[in-house]
Structure 1
Amino acid sequence: MDTWTSFPWTVTPRFDSNQLQHQWDRLHLGDAEPWPEQAGVLEAWAQFHNGEFQRAALSGLALGDAGMNVANKATCIYANYLEPREHARQQLLMDTAARAEALQKREPDNAGAWYWQAYALARYSQCISVAKALTQGLGVKIRRALETTIALAPRHADAHLALAGYHAEVIDKVGAVVGGITHGASKDAGLALYQKALALNPDSAITLSEYANGLLMLDGHKRMEEARHLQDRAAAVQALDAMERLYVASVRLTLEG
């Protein structure tokens, strides 16, 4: 494995097992990840929250299935926000999707296995273009994986958000008619899912920002003021860990552009 680009900031105070226990529910409000029972898995999560993404990924992989969700999350967040090489980014995402799909066969009730496959494929689709990904059948896999995630974990805010994004991206790229007939995309379903994600995780920078983007894709410029308000709220979020710091930085960069 190549050496990954380092997280550019320092997380203070650093997370350890004691701090994670106090902050777990807040940190994992989005992905509904259960508290880990194994000390090694907990340590891998601490590495993740401290921005040590490569260490977290390697630690998780070394722990087998118990550490697979933290390994996959670390890889996805790193690939999406920090990997500068396009080919490497795509390979990391496809490797994650393959690991997650394999985990589904061994642990079909593991919501994270379904979610991280969907996340990785969705981000990969954005790399190669959503329209191209749809022709390759990735949309079907993404939607099925997200729907399964929600069935297994109804309070999985990030899955609601990602499924809303599926509806918005498809309609934005191929139109409402084709999107609805061919890919099952619906404006009303997308908006409802965004609202559900926001209700489940109202103070998340990524939820606020993705909802803003979704409003513009689904409703156009007539929702511009509302979208800008959501982006401003996202930019003002006080990040708790490394991942949230990346989210907020991304939103602020967008607003400055």
Structure 2
Amino acid sequence: MSDWSPFPHAGVFHLDAAQVLQLWPRLHAGDVEPVPDDAAVLQAWVLFHNGEFERACRAGLAAGAAGTTVANKATAIYATYLEPSEKRRLELFREVATRAEQQIAQHPDAPNAWFWHAYALGRYSQGISLAKALAQGLGNKVKQALEKVIALAPRHADAHIALGAFHAEVIDKVGVLIGSMTYGAKKDVGLRMFQQGLRLHPDSVIGMVEHAHALLMLEGERAIDEANRLYERAAVAEPIDAAERLAVDLAQAELAD
């Protein structure tokens, strides 16, 4: 029996391979993932976009090295939104980080190998407390990996957004002075990263949500109105796939709180 929780909107998305290819530019506007030339990898992406995250991970791994990115994205999105056990979540993020590190060793110029390495380490860091993670040197690894993504793929909107979140969270946890001197975290750089990410991908639901989070961390009550506008826009977005549906759910939950 599977130990992965099911996508809560099962059956809402039922894209086939032809539809995924047709929608590819919109589906991958955030991560600029190239269209796969392997049918097995494409089928793994079909499973991912329909919310069958465990099957997508297994199919990606079964497809060999070319399927690593879809396996990592399926695992990371599942762990972020659906895994109920904190212990298991951290295990899944470690798995993604390890696979991505191996992928980087084989394909150092693959932007999404670096991105999922950074993403997994960042989420793992949040799980063990960002302050503890920073003390272990994980913060600098996340920052450097995201900067590498942007150097390799300047139009990688998700990397800009994630780097903006990094700057905001570090400043929120350790303060402006230590954040800047020790980790190179700066408020203006973080906000600029969000602006650039949303300029590259204006319809990024998770980008809107993360930007709202960051504004509240960096500017407090002064940013409540702007943050709520971002949450509201994200909450009424029409999701194109399962991952985006989960981001819309998150925005709606933030508004409810």
Q: Taking structure 1 as the reference length, what is the TM-score of the superposition?
A: 0.98
Partner of 1:28: 28
Query: Does the Cα contact within 8 Å between 2:13 and 2:49 map onto a contact in 1?
Result: no
Aligned residues: 257
Query: Does the Cα contact within 8 Å between 1:11 and 1:242 map onto a contact in 2?
Result: no
User: Which structure 1 segments of 5+ residues have no match?
Assistant: none
Q: In the alignment, does 2:213 pair up with 1:219?
A: no
Distance 1:101 1:13, change over 3 A: closer
User: Which structure 2 segments of 5+ residues have no match?
Assistant: none
How far residue 151 of structure 1 moved from its aligned partner, in angstroms, is: 0.6
Identity %: 54
Aligned equivalents of 2:8 and 2:250: distance in 1? 13
Q: In the alignment, does 2:149 pair up with 1:149?
A: yes
Partner of 1:100: 100
**Match of 1:165, as an amino acid?**
A
Flag as ranges the 4+ runs of structure 1 deviating above 3 A. Answer: none
Partner of 2:6: 6
Pairing of 1:199-214 with structure 2 (within 5 A): 199-214=199-214
Q: In the alignment, does 2:127 pair up with 1:162?
A: no
Deviates more, 1:219-228 or 1:69-78: 219-228
Cα deviations by residue, 1:200-252 (Å, 9 ceiling, x for unpaired): 11112111111111111122211111111111001010111110111101110
**Match of 2:6, as an amino acid?**
S
Q: In the alignment, does 2:248 pair up with 1:248?
A: yes
Partner of 1:48: 48
Aligned equivalents of 1:216 and 1:11: distance in 2? 35
SS class of match (2:170): helix
How far residue 11 of structure 1 moved from its aligned partner, in angstroms, is: 4.3
Query: Does the Cα contact within 8 Å between 1:50 and 1:241 map onto a contact in 2?
Result: yes
How far residue 12 of structure 1 moved from its aligned partner, in angstroms, is: 3.8
Cα deviations by residue, 1:87-125 (Å, 9 ceiling, x for unpaired): 110000011001101110100010010000000111111
Q: Taking structure 2 as the reference length, what is the TM-score of the superposition?
A: 0.98
Partner of 1:120: 120
Cα deviations by residue, 1:142-172 (Å, 9 ceiling, x for unpaired): 0111000011111100000000011000000
Partner of 2:37: 37
Aligned equivalents of 1:138 and 1:2: distance in 2? 31
**Match of 2:57, as an amino acid?**
A
Aligned equivalents of 1:76 and 1:13: distance in 2? 19
Query: Does the Cα contact within 8 Å between 2:13 and 2:242 map onto a contact in 1?
Result: no
Query: Does the Cα contact within 8 Å between 2:209 and 2:234 map onto a contact in 1?
Result: yes
How far residue 186 of structure 1 moved from its aligned partner, in angstroms, is: 0.5
SS class of match (1:87): helix
**Match of 2:190, as an amino acid?**
G
Partner of 1:198: 198
Partner of 2:89: 89
